[in-house]
Amino acid sequence: MSQVHCQRFDIDPEIVHVARHLRRRGGRALLVGGVVRDLLRGLPAKDFDLEVYGLPLERLEAALSELGEVIAVGRAFGVLKVKGLDADFSIPRRDSKTGRGHRGFVVDLDPELDFTDAARRRDLTVNSIAYDPLTGEILDPFDGRGDLEREVLRATDARTFPEDSLRALRVAQFRARLEMEPDAELVALCRGLDLSDLPGERLYEEIKKLLLKARRPSLGFEFLEKTALLRFFPELEAMVGVAQDPIWHPEGTVWEHTLMVVDEAAALRQGQEAEDLALMFGALCHDIGKPATTFEKDGRIVSPGHDEAGVEPTRSLLGRLRASHKLTDQVVALVRFHLAPTLLPKGGATARGYRRLARRLAEAEVSPRLLYRLARSDHFGRTTPDALARQFPGGDEFLRSMEEVVQPEVGIHDVVLGRHLIARGLRPGPDFGRLLDACREIQDETGWTDPDRILDQVLAGSAER
């Protein structure tokens, strides 16, 4: 097996310029990690990581400072950035798990380290390849190129792989993003890992990448189920094996349906990270209340109130992942109201009903159109005849009706605010809340947008009482 190949890729000239500059200062800058993997797969190069050999950290910092302001983003790991340049520069290193040091690791920076030894610390062979942007050399000591061609995920070093349990989630992420099959050894290695020692923030970042970067996120969650790692996400594991009414869900269990919905939602991402993330977590959690509410009644499987029942487990899951309050509130709102785009048209809801829903969504910074995208994913993430025919008439009617009363991208907000009451000579106090509630009722009933008109009616009604 040859370790060195040559191939020319179209690399950002600025990166080549930096590599040439470092070469003149006695170093050798190699592109490593995901950018090399993507280049070999014919994808555009971005997120440049360069491992610099031959220069101690101080000399590397001095050389980079000649190009611009240097920022130490991870000095414990020997990682530097240059302001204005989209690249990370690092020193080759050895890692050893000790229970002490940074995240339980001792990091040994060694600019004279052989690339094979430096690459051995990486998780997967497909991420253990380097490319010299000056010579075109590809360094591949663990046959990552062969694994890319075979579409196989394989541990770079089975002895050191278990030292960081987060790698199991990285494998799940790459299983979905690359749509490559983990080999038997890698599956066994991941099955033996314990995720309970990981802080929520690290778990969140990997789940986030899985939800935002994969065309079929379901493959990653299937991997977590296969390796029994789903047990570290009990709210999700609870959905496995929960039966559903075959009339509405011929595709199978709650978990099987959820995975289909997640993939449908992935196709509706629009490149706006905050909104896409709310959509994807909403898809993952929309039926998370079914395990607690599902039972058989008159020969049918029912899950009454599963939308409301899903609020608490959603908060529990996102809280353990240390998700932001804003994201948590958005996902909770999507879970709570995910049935509305079907039920409102079916129940013949009036404009007032649509306005009230839009207001509830706005409180969580969720637009009606985002809720529609989740409902669409839910509808098509099953194998009913209308889903297979890609027909969602109820959802289309919901969107049309919502467009008649609000802006679906924005939602609805209060027209009358406290300052309007103060302008009428009213003083803040217990009556403020009652008057504002009455103003909301008038606004939802009539659709009026003039605060004075609404307030006139409310105050007139108060005077009569």
So what's the architecture of 233-405 in CATH? Orthogonal Bundle (1.10)
Q: What is the pLDDT at residue 464?
A: 52
pLDDT digits (tens), the chain, 465 positions: 445 677 888 899 999 999 999 999 999 999 999 999 999 999 888 889 999 999 999 999 999 999 999 998 766 677 899 998 989 999 998 776 654 434 555 777 889 999 999 999 999 999 999 999 999 999 999 999 999 999 999 999 999 999 999 999 999 999 999 999 999 999 999 999 999 989 999 999 999 999 999 999 999 999 999 999 999 999 999 999 999 999 999 999 999 999 999 999 999 999 999 999 999 999 999 999 999 999 999 999 999 999 999 999 999 999 999 999 999 999 999 999 999 999 999 999 998 899 889 989 999 999 999 999 999 999 999 999 999 999 999 999 999 999 888 876 666 677 788 888 888 877 787 777 788 888 788 787 777 778 888 888 778 776 554
Instruction: Report CA Rg, the chain.
Output: 27
| Cβ partners under 8 Å of residue 308, min gap 6 | 289, 336
Task: For residues 369 and 367, give the distance between their C-alpha atoms in angstroms, rounded to a whole number.
Answer: 5
- Tokens representing 117 are 């030894």
Task: For residues 278 and 274, give the distance between their C-alpha atoms in angstroms, rounded to a whole number.
Answer: 6
Q: Which of 429, 437, 444, 428 minimizes the C-alpha distance to 458?
A: 437
Contact 411, 362 (CB under 8 A): yes
CA distances from 38 to 127, 258, 269, 342 (A): 10, 29, 21, 41
The pTM is what? 0.85
Sign of CA dihedral 46, 139, 98, 175: positive
Q: What is the pLDDT at residue 96?
A: 65
Contact 162, 192 (CB under 8 A): yes
CA 389 to mean position of chain CA atoms: 29
CA distances from 258 to 77, 94, 217, 263 (A): 39, 41, 11, 9
Q: What is the pLDDT at residue 409?
A: 64
Domain at 4-150, CATH class: alpha beta
Q: What is the pLDDT at residue 411?
A: 63
CA 303 to mean position of chain CA atoms: 27
| Cβ partners under 8 Å of residue 105, min gap 6 | 95, 96, 97, 98, 163, 164
Task: For residues 327 and 88, give the distance between their C-alpha atoms in angstroms, rounded to a whole number.
Answer: 29
